[in-house]
Structures are given as C-alpha cells and as structure tokens.
Amino acid sequence: MHLRHYEARGFEVPVETWGSAADTLVFLPGLGCHPRYYRPGLERLSDRFRILVPDLSFPTHSRLPAGPAAYLALVEDLARDLAPDAVWSGHSFGALLALLRPGPAIACAPSIPAEIPLWRTVSRAAWLQFREYAGLEGRRGPGYAGRIMLDYVSTAVGRPRSLFPAVRSLKRPPAELPIRTGRAVVYLCARDEMYRASEYERYFGIHGREGVTIEELEDGHDWPILRPARFAERMTYAWERVKE
C-alpha cells in the first residue's frame, strides 16, 4: 500500500493505493470511516486490481463536506486526475456516492435517502453496534465496533458539523437523490440493520435502471469490513459483471 496526499476543493486528502494491475477501482468507505477498517479486504483484492481509496474519515479531517453532492464533487476531482476510467465502488455512504455518478458502480449495503427521523437512524446504528459487540457478525465485530463507536462519538462531541449535516442530508424524499449510473451491481443485505427492505424497495423502485443488478446477501450492514474474504470475492464478481 502506498499513501499520497492530494489537494482538492480546499481539502488535503490522503489517498491509499493498493496493487498495480491495469484494472482500477476507486473504493469509497462508509461515512467517516478510516480506510484502515477495510485493509484486510483491500489487501486480498489488490492481487487483482489497482485500488484507490480516498481517506475522508473523521479521525483524519477536522472538517468534511456537508452532504452527498459535495462529497461527490470532491471525489470526482480526485478521480479525474488519478483514475479517470476506474469503476467506482463503495460501502454504505460511499456506495451511495458510487451510484450517483454516470459510470459503472459497485455498491455494498448503500446508504439511501429515506424520510426517517434521526433518532431512528441512531437506534438502528446502536442495534448494529450491539450485534457486532456480541460477536454475532463474526470475530472481527467486537474490535471494530469499539473503534468505530469511538470515532463517531468523539466527532459528535468535538466536531458535530463534520457528522450531522451529512447524516441529515439523507433525511429527504428518495426522488431527490436519483441514481445516475446505468450499469451497477448493488449488494443489499436481507437483514440490513440500517435500512428496512421497504425503504430499499422504494428507492430502487423509483430510480432502478435496466443495467442495475441487485444481489441479496444474508450478511449484516458492515460485511465489507467484517468479512474480508467475501468482500474480495464479491467485488471481483461484480467488476466482471459491470465490465461485460
């Protein structure tokens, strides 16, 4: 893995580069998540791809963009220079960003716009954390749950403007954030702790396109972090689908 810093839209963004293959992926972590949480899977995937991972995490930055449009513009600027022909992929909030651009995309448990109150989002996140703490999402769950909770709580207390505007930006009607990709593989979890099946059905029902393939999984929301071998396998399969 190589790390370099780039300037884009007033932000200094560390970008991790994994692998050296001709086929390139841009991978976007979940909201505020540091790339380190994905490294076991990225290392496996780097045997097959060159992967660029922008670090837009809470631990790295004192301020961050306020919502999907600003995040998307920032990553587009980086990708235009570093990997203009890459397939975009991501997890959670990063998966949503991948779906919001015209190019091919791989979306793992995407965040979506949904008119649900903030307290409900917090309660769902707490349930997800409980499952991970209890080891119900695999052996990596307890350690990850403790670290990511610290990241979020410290940001909520010390730098709330880096967290809450982006979270609130998703509390909107699904029609306001249309999918723009015409070719994608979307991995949805049958028991996603952060979104109900009806919320996913509404969003993809409004915006679904002929070239968007939905694959349903039995894993929980954070499987790209907690199941690195599955992450590498599924990303490879999805890349082959979107490049057909």
57-100: per-residue pLDDT in tens?
999 999 999 999 999 999 999 999 899 999 999 999 999 999 99
Q: Which domain holds residue 70?
A: 2-242
Cα four-point dihedral sign 62, 66, 70, 76 = positive
Q: Which two tokens stand for residue 97?
A: 């960003």
Q: Per-residue pLDDT tens for 191-241?
A: 899 999 999 999 999 877 789 999 999 999 999 999 999 999 999 999 999
pLDDT at 209: 73
Q: How many domains does the chain have?
A: 1
63's enclosing H/E stretch is: none
Note whether 45 and 19 are within 8 A (CB). yes
Sequential DSSP letters for 152-179: HHHHHHH-HHHHHHHHHTTSS-GGGS--
Give the Cα separation of 170 and 33 in Å (integer): 17
CATH number at residue 184: 3.40.50.1820
Task: For the chain, give the mean pLDDT.
Answer: 95
Question: What's the pLDDT score for residue 210?
Answer: 81
How far is CA 34 from its chain centroid? 11
Average pLDDT of the segment spanning 131-135 = 94
**Per-residue pLDDT tens for 33-45?**
999 999 999 999 9
Q: Are 224 and 41 in contact (CB under 8 A)?
A: yes
User: Distance between CA atoms of 38 and 231, rounded to whole angstroms?
Assistant: 9
Tell me what pLDDT residue 207 has.
78
